[in-house]
Amino acid sequence: MPLHRTEEDGDPQADAPPPLTAGIELGDVQLPEDGAGPLFHRRYRTRIREANVTASELVERLAADPDSASPVEFASFVKLHGEPGQMSVGDEYRVRMAGPWDGPVRVIERTPTSFRFATLDGHLEAGQIRFSAQEQDGLIVFEIESWSRSAGPLVHLLYDRLRTAKEVQLHMWTSLLQRLAEVAG
């Protein structure tokens, strides 16, 4: 699978996270302004050809069981609140990672072709992440897009300065995209 990677300075207005959905409980949400270091706006994207599902069916499968495509050797989703086998606004997950890196998240948006999480207290990042799919020119384009800062100075050091966490994250999300292509058939 070809991999293209770019890193460039962003624009604070254009790269700002989307507004939080009204009515979302924010008490334990880690907003970007709660974090340390620069705001990162990241996109991981794949194009899937000859899929056996539609974009909305692919998102539905992932929402029903995030581990269906998650590289569980890096991250596994454990549902803490909400009905099994589906995903709704207000549901919460703990993303279990190797080491002391578990990341709690809450679903803050759910559409037929996307879902968005906000990070909660204890997550390595302070911000949001969206998983979405669309059909484009006979392909399914699946994208993981995040807007976040490191949760604190130590994570900032590991992510932005030493780049260790950045490389692990890149491998984790590109592995998820590759597995999604397999889920799509």
| 100-138 pLDDT, tens digit each | 678 999 999 999 999 999 999 999 899 999 999 999 999
Please tell me the predicted confidence (pLDDT) of residue 156: 77
Distance between CA atoms of residues 96 and 123, nearest Å: 10
Over residues 133-164, the pLDDT tens digits come to 999 999 999 999 999 998 888 877 876 766 66
The pLDDT of residue 161 is 66
Q: State how far the alpha carbon of 30 is from the alpha carbons of 8, 19, 71, 161, in Å.
A: 25, 14, 25, 21
146: how many CB neighbours lie within 10 A of its CB?
Answer: 21
Which residues are CB-neighbours of 114 under 8 A, at least 6 positions away? 59, 130, 131, 132, 133
pTM assigned to the model:
0.92
* Model confidence pLDDT, tens digit, residues 33-42: 999 999 999 9
CATH superfamily entry for domain 32-183: START domain (3.30.530.20)
Indicate the domain borders of the chain.
32-183
